[in-house]
Structure 1
Amino acid sequence: MVGTAHPTALHQVRAAVLANVKPGLVLWCGLVLLLAAYAWSPAVQSGLTQWGAFKQAWGYPGSFFTYAAFAVLVPELLAWAVLRLPVPPTIVRDMAFAFLVFGVIGMSVQVLYAVQVGLFGSGNDAATIVKKMLFDQLVYSPVSNFFMVAVFIWKDEGFTAASLRRFFTTDFLSQRYLPVIIAVWCVWGPGVLVIYFMPTALQFPVASLILSFWILIFKFMRKA
């Protein structure tokens, strides 16, 4: 019997691009609305400023809980309330693990923004924004998304040693990791531009909002 061949890396890239066209368009429209609200609404500006001050005051614990809450708690609660999605029996364990993972990623995002200020300054001119976007998407994102994909698969497969060895194989990189990083590059470019357009103190709150919106979009797309 002939086995089913794995899709090639090129097919994986094409599939990832096509799968992210619709959610990407929705996200980009949301970004336009966010920029408009920030530009024209003093209440939005004040809210983001207070949020940024709160996060700065709490440092890394603030980054941990903010990012985890907007990546896990907010999308899940809205999904249950709006989409009426069923609650799996493992929800507490799954959410606790996701909260931990995204909290760690949130702290790494704070480090990223601090490093970029040191490297490129805190301005929001076109040259600075482009430098930060390229560093974000070509240096930070490949590493952080590899960690995220690997750790969730490791958890799903029972934290086995065999899973750890497989994370550095060609099969894992082309079949599991490549579609994720292609999706990030296809969709998050405009989002990253919006983040680095903001003052440094507001970049983390805006990134948290975009992340939450992005996860919600995928939940709605899967439900549709």
Structure 2
Amino acid sequence: MSATMPMTALGQVRAAVQANFLPGLVLWSCLAALLAAYASSASVQAGLAQWGLVKQAWGYPFAFASYVVFAVVVPEALGFLVLKQTWSPGKWREMGYAALVFGTVGVTVDMFYALQVSLFGEGHDSATLAKKMVFDQFVYSPVSNWFVVALFAWRENGYHASTWRVALSAHFMSTRYLPMLVALWCVWIPSVLVIYFMPTALQFPVASIVLSFWILIFKFIRKS
């Protein structure tokens, strides 16, 4: 059994990368459009700047609310209005749980961006961008995403404590978490480079938009 595990994990990784190739292209196209709009439109620059100022004024509560809106409310609303998804009786409860998870992630992202500035500064040169990308994707992201996956698995398994033991097992890590993490790297490494290319005050707003795009894309792919 152990001899076949590496091949199983490798196959899962390959399948995850292939499945995320199209969503990645769509997301990168959206990011290119956002960059073009930011570079050419004073109104887009002013809008993002105002958003950044409000976030700085309200701090972590605003970070929490922003991720709730862009990771939960907007994707669910568009899924209901555009994709004609059914509204199940337990939908409000599911959204409430997702809001707690993603809102907390929003606060940790805000804290992490501040840590990045303290460690590497606010420069936009290639060396600084590379350092922030590596620290983001290969230190923060693996831990943060594991907690998100484990929290949703915990809910799906009826909040049983055994879920956490399973989530820490080698089998779960190799066959479920590693493929997802590799797929995320393929899509998010270019995305975080765009985020860190932005002025510091605009990085969190842009990250919120990218997250919303990501979730919306997967809703459309799953629907089709």
- The bucket for the TM-score relative to the shorter chain is over 0.9
Residue type at the aligned position of 1:171: H
Gap runs ≥5 in structure 1? none
Q: Does the 8 Å CA contact 2:13/2:180 hold for their aligned counterparts?
A: no
Aligned residues: 220
Corresponding residue of 1:211: 211
Residue identity opposite 2:153 in structure 1? I
For 2:10, give the aligned amino acid: L
SS of equivalent to 1:18: helix
> TM-score, normalising length from structure 2?
0.96
Q: Which residue of 2 aligns with 1:70?
A: 70
Q: How far apart, in 2, do the equivalents of 1:96 and 1:175 lie? A: 29
- Listed as ranges, the gaps of 5+ residues in structure 2 are none
Task: Specify the alignment match of 1:45 in structure 2.
Answer: 45
Worse-matched range after superposition: 164-173 or 13-22 = 164-173
Equivalent pair of 2:64/2:104 in contact (CA under 8 Å): yes
Question: Contact (CA 8 Å) 1:64, 1:104: kept in 2 or not?
Answer: yes
Match of 2:186 in 1: 186
On the 8 A contact 2:67/2:102 being kept in 1, the answer is yes
How far apart are residue 180 of structure 1 and its match? 1.7
8 Å contact 2:64–2:106 — kept in the other structure?
yes
State the partner residue of 1:90.
90
C-alpha offsets along residues 113-160 of structure 1, whole Å, 9 cap, x if unaligned?
A: 011001100111111111101110000100000000000000100111
CA apart distance, 1:29? 0.6
Distance 1:49 1:215 in 2: 24
Of 161-170 and 142-151, the range deviating more from structure 2: 161-170
The answer to whether 1:112 aligns with 2:117 is no
Q: Deviations over 1:36-63 (max 9, x none)?
A: 0000000100000000111111111111
Tell me, in whole angstroms, the C-alpha distance in 1 between the residues paired with 2:109 and 2:173.
23
Aligned-pair CA distance for 1:88:
1.8
CA RMSD of aligned residues (A): 1.1
Counterpart of 2:14 in structure 1 is 14
Query: Structure 1 stretches (4+) deviating beyond 2 angstroms?
Result: none
1:67 Cα deviation from its structure 2 partner? 1.0
> Which amino acid letter does the alignment assign opposite residue 125 of structure 2?
D
Percent of paired sites with the same residue: 60
1:24-45 per-position Cα deviation (integer Å, ceiling 9, x unaligned): 0000111100000000000100
The 8 Å contact of residues 120 and 132 in structure 2, kept in 1 or not, is answered as yes
Letter paired with 1:145: N
Q: Is the 8 A contact 1:122 1:200 kept in 2?
A: yes
Contact 1:145 1:180 (C-alpha < 8 Å) held by counterparts: no
User: Does the 8 Å contact 1:129/1:193 carry over to 2?
Assistant: yes
| Distance across 2 between alignment mates of 1:119 and 1:126 | 15
